Amino acid sequence: MTRGMWTRETVALMLLAAYLPLALFWAWHGGAEALGRFALAAVIVAVWHVVFLLARAQAPSLSGMIVALAVAMLAPEDLGVIRLALGLSFGVVLGELVFGGWGRNVVHPATVTLSFLGFGFPAFAWPGFDAPVAWAAIPAALIGIATGTMPAAVLAGAAGLGAAALLLGAVPQAVLFAACIVLVLLVADPVASAATTPGRWVNGALYAALVILFARGWAGAAPAQIAVSAALLTSLVAPLLDEAALALWTARRKGRHGRT
Amino acid sequence: MTAARATWSTLTDPLVRQNPVTLQILGICSALAVTTTLATAVTMSVALTIVLTLSAGLVSAIRRHIPGTIRLIVQIVIVASLVIVIDQVLQAYFAEISRALSVYVGLITTNCLVLGRTEAFARHNPPFPAMIDAFGNGLGYSLVLVTIGGLRELFGKGELFGRTILPLADAGGWFTPLSLMLLAPSAFFLLGLLVWAVRTILPEQSEAREHTPPPSTEPAE
């Protein structure tokens, strides 16, 4: 995707378009307070992008708005400006910008921010999600798949296992809603998820499995906390899944041709 | 004159320019584990500096008599005996801190820093320079430990040496502690940021790139 109109910024724009239904429903339910949080997060992210533009000549990216949206939606409530700025600076700088900007990061910067805020300030409550906002994750995923910016196999893997768990009644509804939103916002990110098709299937299934495990075994965890923790672990494992998929492919090819 | 200067640079080089933790990334296992409070960090620093200095002196004194094939065993025996002495002293006089440090005093035996200095420097140099070098490295290690320990205790609990510096919100103050600072990952983050800062100020410390980035595909404007 390096020729023609498909540059990094096109991908970021398409992702933003995919998140639009989710963002609109959330802003509609949250009102002015939600928009204020998003604006604050966007300003902090933009400042860091400009700092790295000036210090290291790294082109700023519209993906920062995705990070701001994800953090504004999922961050613990009533944190205050300073704590949000601290967590967001940590996530954006150490999660993304030091690696060279969006596209070279290992973990989604919003995942880093949310984990930092969650572990750093356990006293603040995680947000809950109403049904309409959670349902809006479905059009977001569909647009993402249609434009090719969200890995379909990740979404399918998670949805498959999630549906099975739902039929067995293994997860409460609140966890399911939070898990859907986090799946779309953090897990099905084209950079932080696995890059090979088998790796993506396992990536999505692993996320769903971790959510089910945490929902059943982690006493006292909020739904959003469960989903964010599962997203963090999944994106840390993603490179390993790719490595395994490539090793399998090499081994199969060796068996077929007698050489690599 | 030059000898004095050489001794001085042997002592001060490991503080920042050749710091064993931030440049050589040695001994970080204990550096991460004992830095939740400043008191344990200081105790660990003192213990390691004493063990390092004495063991460097002992190894250096018998350096011509150590058979090359079993030199590691000899060095570890010397280090381990000193560590046991230190551990017993801590248990006798600082029982509480000794409990907080748990096994990490015992693990000084296997600290890469100690073996690294005895193996790389003390084995080839007379006792006095060897002890100066070991003491300098101990100080460099202590500097990093005290910095990280201080930051973690200050921002994790609002205290230094158990005395309140930043009044907590629970007790009527304004500071909300960052609980993450008391968990192990924060030591990694702080150490990483410290290494980053040091290498930004002293660019000659940064390592060569492992990969060269591909040429930019975007047309130059």
- SS3 of A136-175: the string is CHHHHHHHHHHHCCCCHHHHHHHHHHHHHHHHHCCCCHHH
Name the DSSP class of B168: B
User: In B, residues 148-207, which contact A (CB 8 Å cutoff)?
Assistant: 176, 178-181, 183, 185, 189, 192, 196
Contacts of B213 in chain A (CB under 8 A): 100
Report the gap between the CA of B61 and the closest CA in chain A (Å). Answer: 47
Which chain A residue's Cα is nearest to B170?
A123
User: What digits encode the pLDDT tens for the residues B128-187?
Assistant: 989 999 999 999 989 999 999 888 888 888 878 777 777 777 777 677 777 788 888 888
Mean pLDDT to the nearest integer, B59-63: 91
Q: Is A172 left (phi over 0), alpha (psi -120 to 50) or beta?
A: beta
Name the DSSP class of A97: G
In this structure, is residue A29 part of a structural domain?
Answer: yes
Is residue A142 scored above 60 in pLDDT? yes
- In chain B, what are the helix, strand and coil shares in percent, each to the nearest 5? 70, 5, 30
Which chain B residue's Cα is nearest to A120?
B180
Domain that holds residue A26: 8-257
Mutate to test the interface with A, among B166, B178, B221 (most CBs of A within 10 A): B178
Q: Is the minimum CB–CB distance between A116 and chain B shorter than 8 Å?
A: yes
Pick B215 or A201 by higher pLDDT. A201
Is residue A22 scored above 80 in pLDDT? yes
Cα(A166)–Cα(A185) distance, integer angstroms: 21
Question: What percentage of residues in chain A have a pLDDT greater than 90?
Answer: 49
Report the gap between the CA of B178 and the closest CA in chain A (Å). Answer: 5
Is residue B1 scored above 70 in pLDDT? no
Neighbouring C-beta atoms of residue A254, cutoff 10 Å = 11
Cα(B180)–Cα(A126) distance, integer angstroms: 17
Domain that holds residue B100: 19-203
Mean pLDDT, all residues of chain A: 89
Q: Which of A210, A108, A225, A203 has the alpha carbon at shortest distance from A155? A: A203
Contacts of B176 in chain A (CB under 8 A): 83, 121, 123
ipTM above 0.90, yes or no: no
Looking at the structure of chain A, the number of domains it has is: 1
Residue A11: both structure tokens together: 């991908």
User: What digits encode the pLDDT tens for the residues A43-82?
Assistant: 999 999 999 999 888 888 999 999 999 999 998 888 888 8
Which chain A residue's Cα is nearest to B193?
A94
Residue A150: both structure tokens together: 């969200």
Neighbouring C-beta atoms of residue A87, cutoff 10 Å = 27
Report the gap between the CA of A235 and the closest CA in chain B (Å). Answer: 17
Closest CB to A116 among B176, B180, B196: B180
Contacts of B181 in chain A (CB under 8 A): 120
Q: Is the separation of the CB atoms in A175 and A226 below 8 Å?
A: yes
In this structure, is residue A75 part of a structural domain?
Answer: yes
In this structure, is residue B220 part of a structural domain?
Answer: no
Torsions phi, psi of B45, nearest 5? -60, -45
Residue A165 class from Cβ within 10 Å (0-12 exposed, 13-18 middle, 19+ buried)? buried
Which chain B residue's Cα is nearest to A95?
B189
Residue A196: both structure tokens together: 């090979």
In this structure, is residue A3 part of a structural domain?
Answer: no
Q: Is the minimum CB–CB distance between B218 and chain A shorter than 8 Å?
A: yes
Predicted pLDDT of residue B8: 84
Residue B4: both structure tokens together: 């004095």
Looking at the structure of chain B, the number of domains it has is: 1
Q: Is the separation of the CB atoms in B20 and B14 below 8 Å?
A: yes
Closest CB to A2 among B181, B213, B217: B217
In this structure, is residue B14 part of a structural domain?
Answer: no
Q: Which of A135, A183, A185, A132 has the alpha carbon at shortest distance from A161? A: A183
Mutate to test the interface with B, among A86, A119, A232 (most CBs of B within 10 A): A119
User: In A, residues 2-21, which contact B (CB 8 Å cutoff)?
Assistant: 2, 7
Name the DSSP class of A193: S
Q: Which residue has 């025996």 as its token pair? A: B77
Cα(A83)–Cα(A87) distance, integer angstroms: 6
Predicted pLDDT of residue B159: 79
Neighbouring C-beta atoms of residue A54, cutoff 10 Å = 9
Question: What percentage of residues in chain A have a pLDDT greater than 70?
Answer: 98
Residue B221 class from Cβ within 10 Å (0-12 exposed, 13-18 middle, 19+ buried)? exposed
| Secondary structure of residue A126 in the 3-state scheme | coil
User: What digits encode the pLDDT tens for the residues B8-56?
Assistant: 888 888 888 888 888 878 877 777 888 888 888 898 899 999 999 999 9
Torsions phi, psi of B218, nearest 5? -80, 140
Predicted pLDDT of residue A3: 60
Predicted pLDDT of residue A1: 46
Predicted pLDDT of residue A145: 92
Is residue B87 scored above 80 in pLDDT? yes
DSSP secondary structure string, B29-64?
HHHHHSTTSHHHHHHHHHHHHHHHHHHHHHHHHTTT
Q: Is the Cβ pair B218, A7 closer than 8 Å? A: yes
Q: Which of A71, A5, A7, A17 has the alpha carbon at shortest distance from A41? A: A71
Q: Is the Cβ pair B176, A83 closer than 8 Å? A: yes
Q: Residue B128: CA atoms inside 13 Å, Cβ hemisphere, count?
A: 5
Cα(A158)–Cα(A200) distance, integer angstroms: 10
Q: Is the minimum CB–CB distance between B221 and chain A shorter than 8 Å?
A: no
In this structure, is residue B212 part of a structural domain?
Answer: no
Report the gap between the CA of A66 and the closest CA in chain B (Å). Answer: 23
Report the gap between the CA of B217 and the closest CA in chain A (Å). Answer: 7
